[in-house]
Chain A
């Protein structure tokens, strides 16, 4: 995975995180100026909680959760969280990799309530399961739908109609 990274000054958040969690942060990069941290899967909740509850940082808004399918790479999936701090007026991107064989990770619903639907969407589109999620089921597709449409190995035009004759 080659990514263009421009040299730029690390923000305050990154400094604090690097001091506090030296072992959990795998990589720091800033493609196109967006600060990005790749962290270990198991330390996700720990770091998120710190980011949200530390009075100096205060990343209280969860902007987005999404996933990317790097078919052929190992581990295959990458979960991406965008969070925002009103205090610092700063956006941060947290990434973590998830294996295909065991696509399960911890839910952040205890920290942010909108994670409920966002994680359901990731489950619906990519088949990644979230531990401790209260109501993990399909949200955009219907229950009869098989497979996960946004995975790269799902064909674009493979239809699974609910009425006969709609293929």
Chain B
């Protein structure tokens, strides 16, 4: 490493500086070797791979259902978008349609995740330019959004909520109020942050005209997502290849002009507002789900249900564990596909009927479960960083023969050397913040 950069030294008195792998301002672990002339960056070399966790190889040894938790941990700031991407790739192979309500819920969840991702990115970027208040505010907004996720999915981050054939569970009863509150609080925070940053002279001086990426460069480096749009290219998977219900909702794609750090910041800010719009529309348009279950007194403990099922099938509802809330049998037609082969049977059936038990075992047994037809497929969704594509080859068994992820920030990171060249050392960190590197996705 060091020898290599030494050979490329352009000036005799230049200084070699090593940034990372564990650097406080690095989001994750990455190493940048810098060749400096005073404060100016002459050359640099980026080394990645410190978080290479063998995602692709591991997935080749897991069944299609077991891969799902691993996708959570790719872009860990917006796990639900990763889930959606993976699950929709499998659904494309299997050729299954999911209920309308599930599509809307997926859309809402994706947009909440996108806002969380942008908030985290901008919070870190603002902190690195010296605006610590913005960091605290934005993380506060993220907590409100995560409350919605937590109440719906049962987990804060790694949720595995989007399932093949639908979603894990329906929204809680008070979802309108919950989402309404989160949207309102996020709006407030966005307004505050606009006030703090957008016309702040210090912030403008630090970010405007820094690390400019032209249109041609952005395309040549394979940029997608907010970074590409900041350079002024109109490309968004949600508009180019609409999936879920994005073609039925009204939203705009904000574009930047110069492709500098400020544009990348501003495009993200505007995108969050559009995402809030999408969430509000989707909540309004969403078809109604199952009517809530009545007569709560007659709830049966699972072990009692299993006992009584040996004699006669119980008529009462069965008490499910709290983390299965929203997964009651009545809600299945609204959140999961009709095709029984690809979904886990409702717990009520598993406990009380023999067919339910058999289908439950068949779903999880080796060499059974989900087996897509032979062939290869590529499907992509608009992740928070750009086009998140899954390329999966199936050989007809229950495990993928090959699973490859098109990680958006891998492409963007490959341009980092070009972006920081000729700039100042102090600008490296905001530039690095503005492209939102996520280790799990970059190194897989």
Question: A26 on the interface (CB 8 Å rule)?
Answer: no
What string of 1s and 0s marks CB contacts (under 8 Å) between B5-32 and chain A?
A: 0000000000000000000000000000
Q: Beyond A31-B377, A140-B48, is A114–B54 a contact (Cβ under 8 Å)?
A: no
Question: B373 on the interface (CB 8 Å rule)?
Answer: yes
Q: Beyond A3-B376, A113-B414, A149-B54, is A62–B222 a contact (Cβ under 8 Å)?
A: yes
9 A-B residue pairs with Cβ-Cβ distance under 8 Å, sorted by A, are: A34-B377, A63-B387, A64-B406, A68-B402, A113-B221, A118-B410, A142-B49, A156-B54, A156-B57
A63 to B387 CA separation, bound complex (whole angstroms): 9
Whether A150 pairs with B56 at a CB distance below 8 angstroms is yes
- Say what secondary structure dominates the interface of chain B: mixed
Question: B374 on the interface (CB 8 Å rule)?
Answer: yes
Question: A28 on the interface (CB 8 Å rule)?
Answer: no
Which B residues form the contact surface with A (CB < 8 A)? 48-49, 52, 54, 56-58, 61, 92-93, 217, 219-222, 224, 233, 235, 240-241, 373-378, 380, 387, 389, 391, 393, 401-402, 404, 406, 410-411, 413-415, 418, 443-444
Q: How far is the CB of A40 from chain B (nearest CB, A)?
A: 20
Highest count of chain B CB atoms <10 Å: which of A64, A69, A142, A149: A64
Whether A32 pairs with B443 at a CB distance below 8 angstroms is no
Whether B233 pairs with A86 at a CB distance below 8 angstroms is yes
A2 to B219 CA separation, bound complex (whole angstroms): 35
Question: A80 on the interface (CB 8 Å rule)?
Answer: yes
Q: Beyond A32-B92, A89-B240, is A66–B375 a contact (Cβ under 8 Å)?
A: no
Q: How far is the CB of B211 from chain A (nearest CB, A)?
A: 16
Whether B220 pairs with A4 at a CB distance below 8 angstroms is no
Whether B404 pairs with A64 at a CB distance below 8 angstroms is yes
Question: A43 on the interface (CB 8 Å rule)?
Answer: no
Whether B52 pairs with A113 at a CB distance below 8 angstroms is no
Whether B220 pairs with A114 at a CB distance below 8 angstroms is yes
A64 to B378 CA separation, bound complex (whole angstroms): 11
Question: A45 on the interface (CB 8 Å rule)?
Answer: no
Question: A13 on the interface (CB 8 Å rule)?
Answer: no
Question: A112 on the interface (CB 8 Å rule)?
Answer: yes
Instruction: Output the nearest chain B residue to A64 by Cβ-Cβ distance.
Output: B406
Question: A93 on the interface (CB 8 Å rule)?
Answer: yes
Contacts of B377 in A (CB 8 A): 31-32, 34
Contacts of B443 in A (CB 8 A): 140
A121 to B410 CA separation, bound complex (whole angstroms): 10
Whether A80 pairs with B374 at a CB distance below 8 angstroms is no
Whether B375 pairs with A116 at a CB distance below 8 angstroms is no
Contacts of A64 in B (CB 8 A): 389, 391, 404, 406
Q: How far is the CB of A113 from chain B (nearest CB, A)?
A: 5
Which A residues form the contact surface with B (CB < 8 A)? 2-4, 31-32, 34, 36, 60-64, 66, 68-69, 80, 82, 86, 89, 91, 93, 112-114, 116-118, 121, 125, 138-142, 149-150, 154, 156
Whether B406 pairs with A117 at a CB distance below 8 angstroms is no
Q: How far is the CB of A61 from chain B (nearest CB, A)?
A: 6
Whether B49 pairs with A114 at a CB distance below 8 angstroms is no
Contacts of B402 in A (CB 8 A): 68-69
Highest count of chain B CB atoms <10 Å: which of A68, A69, A93, A113: A113
Contacts of A142 in B (CB 8 A): 49
Whether B378 pairs with A91 at a CB distance below 8 angstroms is yes
Whether B219 pairs with A61 at a CB distance below 8 angstroms is yes
Whether B61 pairs with A139 at a CB distance below 8 angstroms is no
Instruction: Output the nearest chain B residue to A121 by Cβ-Cβ distance.
Output: B410
Instruction: Output the nearest chain A residue to B218 by Cβ-Cβ distance.
Output: A61
Whether B49 pairs with A31 at a CB distance below 8 angstroms is no
Highest count of chain A CB atoms <10 Å: which of B378, B389, B444: B378
A141 contacts which of B52, B222, B241, B415 (Cβ < 8 Å)? Answer: B52
Whether A60 pairs with B93 at a CB distance below 8 angstroms is no
Contacts of A117 in B (CB 8 A): 410-411, 413-414
Instruction: Output the nearest chain A residue to B373 by Cβ-Cβ distance.
Output: A4
Q: How far is the CB of A27 from chain B (nearest CB, A)?
A: 13
Q: How far is the CB of B250 from chain A (nearest CB, A)?
A: 20
Q: Beyond A61-B222, A63-B222, A82-B391, is A150–B414 a contact (Cβ under 8 Å)?
A: no
